[in-house]
Amino acid sequence: MSDTTWRFTGGTPHDGIKDLPPPPSWRMFGNPSKNRGETYQTRQYDGSMVSAEIELVNAALLLRRPLLVTGKPGTGKSSLAYAVATELKLGDVLRWPITTRSTLREGLYDYDAIGRLQDASLYQNPNMSQPSPPKLGKYIRLGPLGTALLSQHIPRVLLVDELDKSDVDLPNDLLHVFEEGEYEIRELSRLGKDHSEEVETWDGDKVVIHGGIVQCKNFPLVIFTSNGERDFPPAFLRRCLRLTIQPPGLDELRAIIRSHFSTYLEQYPDDDLFVRVEPLIKAFLQRREQTDLSTDQLLNAVYLVTQNVDPLSRPALVEAVWKSLSNP
């Protein structure tokens, strides 16, 4: 393996970017669900007991209850959903990233009323070869929550990411849908209970909706993630199982590094990477005791080591890579 140097030197233009090494595994795009599911390291045991992660995921599957996962940023809350979906072969994770503007309707479905109105005006042209505009279902697309609640033979995994960011009413708005396991698409139900319409799902499939009502057959595994930045209504909490994920310790960090850098270790079997990164891991743990750091910040530093850049020998670099999450 040849030495790696910085591409940007602040000098004369050159073509060094063409030799840029492959990105870290967590920055590769194309199939992120598979990548996150395979690299996540689930705690197997807490002492002599089966870990809370395994216990509560299984309880949520059996009880058909949502799982509220709380923990500091970077502890693997979201990745847990991908790990479950990968191991149990439940298909791609349906991810619903929450913002302050997120609504229940957004999670269930989207109706493109403007697009339909524009098409209707075009079809009023007598020169159009088709006598009528497309069916209503063309303008409806199910959201991640709406797709998860479809009648399916096996449950899907729905990741409702960063619920802390939601409007204060959203957790309560979700209660009826999760209790009843169904929802109504009003634009379709107005056409009558005997009317059927084909619509698009969140992940691009087609499904026929009868009478405008969607009723789930197998309740999805719903994983809410929270950074613990706000309190949720008691009525919402009562319907959830709650799991708190602790930051990984020394042995867990070693396992996480081995998982993420497996390709590198196979490519360079003579490179004792762990001898080089052990001081980095211990320095990271010491710093994490004093401030908020996430595991991916350690992974970034380890990746730099694989490129022959030692962050510990570069004070400005290690300060930037390990910038506290709680301080500006």
Question: Using one digit for the tens of pLDDT, what is the confidence trace for 5-20?
Answer: 688 888 889 888 888 8
Please give the Cα distance from 178 to 115 (Å, whole number): 31
Average pLDDT over residues 271-284: 94
**For every residue of 69-117, which 3-state class applies, written as one string?**
EECCCCCCHHHHHHHHHHHCCCCCCEEEECCCCCCHHHHHEEECHHHHH
pLDDT exceeds cutoff 80 at 239: yes
Mention every residue, 6+ apart, whose C-beta is less than 8 A from residue 53: 42, 43, 80, 243, 245
Lowest mean pLDDT among 21-30, 49-58, 87-96, 105-114: 21-30
In a 13 Å sphere around the CA of 108, the CA atoms on its Cβ side amount to 22
pLDDT over 50 (residue 191): yes
Per residue in 88-114, is it b (16+ CB within 10 Å) or e — as a string? eebebbbbbebeeebebebbbbbbeee
For 187-249, the DSSP string reads HHHTT-TT-EEEEE-TTS-EEEEETTEEE-SS--EEEEEE-S-S---HHHHHTSEEEEPPPP-
Q: What is the largest CA-CA distance in the chain?
A: 77
Give the CA distances from residue 149 to residues 154, 272, 300, in Å, rounded to whole numbers and listed in that order: 11, 48, 37
Indicate the range of 4-13, 185-194, 280-289 predicted with least confidence. Answer: 4-13
Q: What is the DSSP letter of 290?
A: T
* 73-119 confidence digits (pLDDT tens): 888 899 999 999 999 999 999 999 999 999 999 999 999 989 888 87
pLDDT of residue 3: 47
Share of the chain above pLDDT 90, in %: 65
Domain boundaries, the chain: 49-244, 248-328
**Domain 49-244 belongs in CATH node 3.20.20.70:** no
Span 211-222, mean pLDDT? 95
Can you tell me the distance from the alpha carbon of 292 to that of 77, in angstroms, rounded to the nearest whole number?
A: 16
pLDDT at 1: 42
